Structure 1
Amino acid sequence: MRPRLPSSPPAAGVTRRGLLIGGGAGVGLILAWALWPRHYLPNLTADTGETIFGAWIKIGDDGHVTVAVPQAEHGQGVYTALPQIVADELGADWRTIAVEPAPLNPLYANALGADELFETARDTVAGRWRDAHAVRIGMMVTAGSSSVRTFEDDLRQAGAAARVLLCKVAAARWQVDWQACDTRGGFVFHGKDRLRFADLAAEAVRGSLPDALPMRVNEDDTRLSGQSLPRLDAPAKVDGSANFAGDVRLPDMVFASIRQAPGGSSRLVRVDRAAADRIPGVLQVVTNDRWVAAIGNHWWAANRALDALAPRFETQGAIVTSATIRAALQGALDTPGRRLAAVGDVDATFKDARLITAEYQVGLAAHAAVETMTATARFADGRLELWLPTLAPAMARDAAAAAAGIATDRVVVHPMLVGGAFGANLDHRCAEQAAILAVTLKRPVQLTWSRVEDLLHDRFRPPAMARMAARLGPNGQILGWRARIAAPATGQEVAARLFAQDAGFRTALALTPSGDPYAIAGAVPPYRMPAYAVDHHPADIGVPTGHWRSGAHSYTAFFTECFLDELAHLAGTEPLSYRIGMLGGDARLARCLSTAASLGGWEGGIAGSGQGIACHSFRGSHIAVLVEAHVGEGQAVSVDRIVAAVDCGRQINPDLVRQQIEGGLLFGMAAATGGSTGFTRGLPDARGFGDLGLPRLADTPDITVELISSEADPGGVSELAVPPVAPAIANALQAATGYRLRCLPLVPGTK
C-alpha cells in the first residue's frame, strides 16, 4: 500500500523559479528538489472499537493502548523500549500496552539509521541529501543501534499530545482547567475524580492541541521511563504463540526449498527432474539461471528433492579460496590506500623515525542466525503480499516488485518478528525468490533456505587485514599512529544491493566522497595523540559481504586495542593506566575503564594473570571490558570471566540494556574464538553450526555488567558490547601465555 504523500507549500522565499535557478542543471537541481519541504499523513488502520491518535497511538474502548513501532524486533527489545516511551509520556498502564508493526510511511523513516549503517557524515551536502531522500522514500530501516535515538522525541510528542487531548475532555466534563489534570495508570485524574482513557478517547481525538505541548516533568515513581518493565514480546516467545515468517499458513499454500549458484558468474546448467518427481510430496520444480527451487506439499519433501535434482552449476573465472582471499587483502595493503581520517601530519612524524609495527588479520564471520532466510508470498489479482523478516521493509517491497515485474504499489509487506541475524535481513534475495515463485505457481508459497544454504550464501562480515605503525616518545607517549586497513568496500556493496531499485539514492551515493567510511569505521583511536591517520585499502576478495553486528567496529577495535596493548608493554607501562592517561577529556570512557578494573579485580595485566582489558566508544555510548582467559586442553581458548562497565546515557529500560550487553559480549566472544569460515573451491567450508566452533552453554563465562548512571542523551546499545570483547580476550591470552595472537579467530600457536 502506498501512503498518501501530500506536499506542503514551499517554504517562505522559495519559488519554483528560484529552485530551478538555484539548483541549476543536474546534481544541483536534484539536491534542491530533495530538500523541498513536504508533509506526510499517517496511515494507521483501526480495529473495531479503536481510536487513532496520529501516527503512533491507538486507544481501544476496552482500555488497551496500541503503539505502532516502525523498527524490526530481532531480539534487541525495540517492541518494549519504544512503547515504554509512549506509555511514560501518556501516563498509561503498562499492562494495557500492545504493539504492532507500523505501516510503510515516510513518517517512520530512519535517516539516522541509514547514516549509522553506512557510517556517513550528516553535516555534508550529500549527507543532507541522503537524509531528505531517506524520508522521501520512506526508508524504514533497523540498523545502527538507532531506534531510541531516532524516535524518542517523536514518541514523547505523540504521548504528550494524546495526554493533553484526554485531559481536555476530562476537564470539560469536570468543568476545571485541563492543565490541572494529570494522567497515570490509564486514567485522567483531578483530585479524587478520575476517568478511563477508554471513556474519553473517541471524543478526545476531535480536540485541538496547544501551540506548545507540555511534557511530563514529575520524577516520582509513577514515571515508566527508566524502569525495567517486562518485555512485551517475551510471553509469546516463551509459550510459542509468537509468529515468525515460518509460522505463516495460508489456504492452498505450498512449500519450497532452494539451491543457488555459487558466487561470481555461475549459472545452472543441469538438473534431474525425473529423479525429483519420484520423491513423494514433490509438486513442481522451478529453475532459472541462478537457482533451482523444488516445490512440495511439505518442506522436507521439497528439500529432499534438491538432492535428487543433483543440480550442476558452471562457474567461469577465478575460484575463491582462503588463499586467494588472503592474497587479495595482502595485495591491497601493498597498493596505495585512501586516507579517510587524519589529524596532524603523521607522515612527517614518521620520517626518519624508529617505528613500532604489527600486522593483524580477521576472517570472514557468518551471521548463523537461528532463523534461516524465509519468506511467504501470495500473488492474486495482480497484487503481491509478502510475510518476511526484514530490517528494511520498503526496500524489500521494491526488490520483490522488481523481481515479480509489477509496480511497487501492488506489493504489501507484512514485517514479521526476526529470529536474530543482526544484519542478515538487510538482504532481500529470499523475498525476490518467493515473489517469483508465487507469480509462477499462482498459489501461496513459503520459501525456506536450509541451514546449509543459509551458510553457503551468507553475506559474511568481511575479512580484513591491518598494518599498524606507531612512534613512541618519552615515557611511552604516542607521537604518531597509522592504521592501514585492507577490507572490501562493504558499505558501498550493501548500499548498491539495498537501493538497487532506487535511482535517486544511487545519485546520493555518487555524491559521497571516494573511499568507504564503513570499511574503516571505528578505526580512529579514542586516545589523545598529536598525529594519526587511517587509510582504507579496498580489497576485491570475490565474496559478497554484508553488515554484521557492529560492522567494521568488530575488527577495527581489535586492531586498535591489541596494538595499544602492545605499545603499553613496550613502554613498560601498565595497560589500564596507559589507556586512561591518553584519554584526555573523555571522562565517560575513563570511568568505564576504572569501573571495569575495580569490579574485575584488575592486577595490572601482569604475566601469568590471564587478564586483559579493552574499551570502545560507539554511537554515543562507551564500554570497557575486562576478561580473564587461558589456553586449555587441546590448545582451546577458554574465557573464564567477563566484566563490562557501560555508559550508554539515559536508559529507557535498564533490563533491556543489560540483556543487549550480555548478548553482545557472548556474540563478540563467539567471533573471537570461532564463528568464522574458510573457503575451498569457491564455497564456504562451514555447512552447519558444528563447523563454526561456537561456544556452548558450558563455555559461558561468569559475566558481570555494571550500568553507569548518566543523564546524557541515550546512545546506541545493541551493537556496543561486540567490538571490545575480542581484543580483551587477546590481551588476556597474551598475559596468560606470553605470546601475542594477532588473528581472529584466536587460535593458539598462530601469531
Structure 2
Amino acid sequence: MARAPRKRSDKGKGIDRRTLLVGGGAAAGLLLAWGVWPRSYRPNLNAGPGETILNAFLKIDRSGQIIVIVPQMESGQGVTTVLPQILADELGADWRTVAVQSAPISPLYANTLLAREWLASDWTRLLGEAGDWAIGQYASRSSLMLTGAGTSIPMFHDAYRDAGAAARVLLCKAAAARWDIPWESCDIQDGVISDGAAKRMKIGNVVEDAARFDVPDILPYRQGQDGRLSGQDLPRLDAPSKIDGSHNFAADVRLPDMVYASIRQGPIGDAVLAGLDERSPAGVTGFLKLVKQEHWVAAVASNWWAANKALDLADPVFTLRGKPVSSETIDDALEAAFAGSAGRRIYAQGDLLPVFEGATILASEYQVDAGLHLTLEPMAATARVMDQEAEIWLATQAPALARDAIARALDLPEAAVTLYPLHAGGSFGRRMDWEVGAQAALIARDMRRPVQLLWSRLEDVVQDRPASPAKARLAAKLGRSGAIEGWLAKVAAPCAMSQTWARVGRGAMPHEAAAEMADKPTRLAIAGMALPYAAPAWAVDHYPADVGLALGFAPGNAALYGTFFTESFVDELAHLAGIEAMSFRIQMLGGNSRLAHCLSTAAAMGGWQGGVSGSGQGIAARMAGGAYAAIMVEAEMGGNAVSVSRIVAAVDAGDQVNPDIARQQVEAGLIYGLAHALGASAPYKGGLPTRSMLGRMNLPRLADIGEVSVELIRSTAPPARITDLAAPLVAPAIANALYTWTGQRLRRLPLLASA
C-alpha cells in the first residue's frame, strides 16, 4: 500500500502511534495527551461476545461484522450512514457488514468545532489560537458531545478516516504475520484481506490478533478509486428498521412494570403551579397518581391516554410571575431595542459615514416572527430510577449535558446516571434541550417504577423553544453603475444560541436565560449577515432584545432571519438599480467564484427569465461553513394563498461522502424553509400560542410542494456542512418571486401574515 502523509486537523481527532494504543479486549483504545495539562482518555466501550475494540470508533466481531460507533444524534439527516461510510471506505469493508452503535459519553467524542463556534466570545477571539485551544480543552474535558449546525461531518471526517486507516493497518499486520510476508503488501477490499495474489482471509479471522499490533507513526491512506465507498449513493443504514417499524424511538421503549405520564407546565415564562383539582382524575380508569413540582404537574396512569385525560380533569392553574408574552409585546420589545443603549457594531468594513452623508439612500424595514419546531415526534423520555442509580432513554443532541442535568435533578453523582441516546423523529435543534429527561426521572423516582413521559402536541407547542423573532432596518447607497457603495443593517433580536447555552450548559431556567441575555449583543445573533457581496463600506449592528420567549436552536439559527433580510434587500436594490437580480448579485460577488457558479447554475436549471414582472421567479444565495448555495423558486399568489410550484437549488458543499444523502439534506432544508416562510408560527396572547394544531399552522403538505431539483456541483474541496445550508434561502426567494407576481414587497415572515 502506498504511504501518504497523515493530515492533521483540529476538526477531528487524529490517530497515530502517539495517540492510539491498541491492546486486547475492552482495554484497547485511544490515549490523547493534552499539552499543558495532560489527560488520558480511553474508550469506555463495551465489547460483546466475540467483539474486539480496535479504537474509539470501531469494533469488529469474529464474523467480520463492522460495528461503527457514532456519537452524533440521528434525526433523519443521515449521520449514522455518512460517518460509517467514511470509516468503511478507508478500512475496505463490505458495506453489507456495517452496523452502527451509539457512542457512550466520553471526552473522545467532544464536538470541539461546534463548541468553538457556540462559546467563542470577545475574550477568546482576542486570545486567538490560545482562545480556540482553551475552548477545545473545555469541550473535551467536559465530554461536550454536541450535534448541530451541520458540524458532524466537518468535525469527525478526519477522525473516522484515521480510525478506518488504523484498523486496516492492524488487520493487514495480523494477516501478514500468519502468511509471513511484509504487511505493506496486503490490502483490504470488500472485507477481505489479500496479498494481491492468491492469499485471502476474512477480517473476522484475524481481528483478535490485530488488536495486539502497533499503529505506525504515519498512517497510509488508501489510494486509487477501485472498490471505494466514498462518493457512492449507498443505502441508509437506518432506513430498513424505520420502514418496517422496528426502529425504537423514545416513545417505543417498553420496560417491565412501566407506567405512562403526561405533563402540564403552564404558560410561557416564570409559571408556578398554584392549584389543581386532585379528586376528579380518580374517575379515569387506569389513573394512578399526580406528581407535582414547583413549575409543573404530571399525571401518571397505566396508559398515556388516561394520564392526559386525568390532567385535563385536574385542570391545573398556574401563576405567572411577570408580564405575559403576546405578539404585541414581542413587536414592542423588538422596536424598543433600537432605542436602547445595548446595541453594538458587530461587523464593519470601510467607513460608512462619508458614503451616507448627504446621499440618497434606500431604507427598508423587515421582521420575522418566532418559528416553531413542530417536530413529528413530541418531546419524550423513558426513565427507570432505583435508590442510587438511574437509567434514561432519551433522544438528545447534548448527551453529556443531559446526563449531568438529570443527575442534578435527582441529586445523584453523574456516574450513577446511565443515558441511552436514541434517534429522534425529527429535531431541527429542539433536542438540544434536556428538560423532558429530567422530568421523566423525577416522576419515575416518585412512582418507584419505570415511567415513560410523552408531551402532548399542545404542550410541545406551548413549551417550544422557537427560532428567534427579529426586526431589521436596512439602508444602502447605490453608485452610478448600480453597485452597492454603502450598506448598513441594524438588527433587533434576542440571541437564541446564547439562551440555549445558558439553559443546557449552565442549568438556567428558561425565563432566567432569556432575561440574562436580554442586554448582551453578540455575533451569534447576526451570524450569516456578514455581507457576501463586495461593498466597499458596510456594517451590521446588533440590538439585543428581551421578547419574553425562551428560544432555541433551529436550522440555520440566526441565518433564518439574517438571510431573509439580506437577500430580500439585495433584490430591492437590484430593482432600484434597474439591473436583473442575478446579474446584480454576480457583479457584486467579487472573487467569489463558487457562489457565482451556484447562482448561474440555479438560474440555468430553472430557466431564469430575469425576474421580469409576472414571471413569479425569485432567487437567493448564501454561503456558510465552507458551503455555497443558490436557489430559484417559482411562486404565485391567489387570494391569500401562496403556491410554490418549483424550487431549484445549486449547491457547492465540497466532495460529499454520500451525494444522495447530501441531496436529501438540501431537500429537507428546502421544505423546512418553505414551512418557515409560509407558516410554522403562531400568534401569542396571554402567555400562550393562540393555535397549536399542526393542521392550522399552514405547513406545506406533499400535495402543495411542486418540483424540487437539487444539483450538487462537483468539487474537490473538503466536505462542508450542508444540513442547515438551504433552509434560510427559501423565504427570501419566495418573497422575491412574489414581488414579480404582485408588485408588492413582502417584508415580514411568515409571508402570509404580511399578504
Q: Is this a same-fold pair by TM over 0.5?
A: yes
Deviations 1:492-539 (A, max 9, x none): 21111111259xxx9xxx9xx962222101011100011111111001
2:337/2:544 contact within 8 Å kept: yes
How far, CA to CA, are the matches of 1:175 and 1:5 in structure 2? 27
How far, CA to CA, are the matches of 1:556 and 1:654 in structure 2? 28
Q: Is 1:334 aligned to residue 335 of structure 2?
A: no
How far, CA to CA, are the matches of 1:117 and 1:560 in structure 2? 23
How far, CA to CA, are the matches of 1:689 and 1:114 in structure 2? 33
Deviation at 1:115, TM superposition (A): 3.0
Q: Which moved more, 1:333-342 or 1:48-57?
A: 333-342
Residue-pair matches, total:
716
Deviation at 1:712, TM superposition (A): 0.3
Q: Which moved more, 1:653-662 or 1:313-322?
A: 313-322
Deviation at 1:126, TM superposition (A): 3.9
- Aligned twin of 2:314: 309
2:466/2:554 contact within 8 Å kept: yes
SS of structure 2 residue aligned to 1:623: strand
Select the residue among 581, 589, 592 that pairs with 2:587: 581
Change (3 A) 1:55 1:749: closer
Select the residue among 406, 411, 421 that pairs with 1:405: 411
Deviation at 1:621, TM superposition (A): 0.5
- Give runs of aligned pairs for residues 326-475 of structure 1, distance below 5 A: 326-336=331-341, 337-475=343-481
How far, CA to CA, are the matches of 2:532 and 2:30 in structure 1? 45
- Give runs of aligned pairs for residues 59-458 of structure 1, distance below 5 A: 59-117=60-118, 123=128, 125-190=130-195, 191-220=197-226, 222-336=227-341, 337-458=343-464
Deviation at 1:392, TM superposition (A): 0.4
2:747/2:754 contact within 8 Å kept: no
Deviation at 1:74, TM superposition (A): 0.4
1:106/1:139 contact within 8 Å kept: yes
How far, CA to CA, are the matches of 2:754 and 2:407 in structure 1? 51
AA partner of residue 300 (structure 2): I
Select the residue among 697, 707, 730 that pairs with 2:712: 707
How far, CA to CA, are the matches of 2:523 and 2:133 in structure 1? 17
- Aligned twin of 1:725: 730
2:372/2:681 contact within 8 Å kept: yes
- TM-score of the two chains, using structure 2 as the length reference: 0.92
Runs of 4+ in 1 over 4 A off after TM superposition: 3-11, 117-122
Deviations 1:349-397 (A, max 9, x none): 2222222100000001100000100011111141011001100000000
SS of structure 2 residue aligned to 1:232: coil
Q: Is 1:543 aligned to residue 549 of structure 2?
A: yes
How far, CA to CA, are the matches of 1:486 and 1:325 in structure 2? 11
Deviation at 1:124, TM superposition (A): 5.6
How far, CA to CA, are the matches of 1:554 and 1:309 in structure 2? 40
- Aligned twin of 2:666: 661
How far, CA to CA, are the matches of 1:405 and 1:708 in structure 2? 52
Change (3 A) 1:93 1:6: closer
Deviation at 1:103, TM superposition (A): 0.9
SS of structure 2 residue aligned to 1:671: helix
Deviation at 1:6, TM superposition (A): 11
Deviations 1:614-646 (A, max 9, x none): 0010111010000000002x3201001000000
1:7/1:37 contact within 8 Å kept: no
AA partner of residue 47 (structure 1): G
How far, CA to CA, are the matches of 1:246 and 1:514 in structure 2? 38
Deviation at 1:265, TM superposition (A): 2.7
SS of structure 1 residue aligned to 2:745: coil
SS of structure 1 residue aligned to 2:752: coil
Deviation at 1:687, TM superposition (A): 1.2
AA partner of residue 443 (structure 2): L
Change (3 A) 1:10 1:552: closer
How far, CA to CA, are the matches of 2:715 and 2:111 in structure 1? 25
Deviations 1:716-744 (A, max 9, x none): 01111101111000000001111100001
SS of structure 1 residue aligned to 2:321: coil
How far, CA to CA, are the matches of 2:252 and 2:475 in structure 1? 52
Deviation at 1:4, TM superposition (A): 12
Q: Which moved more, 1:567-576 or 1:208-217?
A: 208-217
Q: Which moved more, 1:113-122 or 1:427-436?
A: 113-122
How far, CA to CA, are the matches of 2:683 and 2:629 in structure 1? 31
Change (3 A) 1:303 1:8: closer
How far, CA to CA, are the matches of 1:156 and 1:70 in structure 2? 15
**Which consecutive residues of structure 1, in runs of 5 or more, have no partner in the other structure?**
12-34
Q: Is 1:746 aligned to residue 751 of structure 2?
A: yes
Deviation at 1:152, TM superposition (A): 1.0
Deviations 1:191-241 (A, max 9, x none): 121100010101111111211111111123x01000010000000000000
SS of structure 2 residue aligned to 1:747: helix
Deviations 1:407-455 (A, max 9, x none): 1111110000111121101111101111111221111111000000000
Select the residue among 493, 499, 502 that pairs with 1:496: 502
Q: Which moved more, 1:558-567 or 1:347-356?
A: 347-356
The Cα RMSD (Å) is 2.0
AA partner of residue 664 (structure 1): G
How far, CA to CA, are the matches of 2:408 and 2:65 in structure 1? 39
1:6/1:38 contact within 8 Å kept: no
Identity %: 50
- Aligned twin of 1:533: 539
- TM-score of the two chains, using structure 1 as the length reference: 0.93
AA partner of residue 256 (structure 2): P
Change (3 A) 1:5 1:283: farther
1:386/1:412 contact within 8 Å kept: yes
Change (3 A) 1:203 1:549: same
1:119/1:518 contact within 8 Å kept: no
Change (3 A) 1:352 1:335: farther
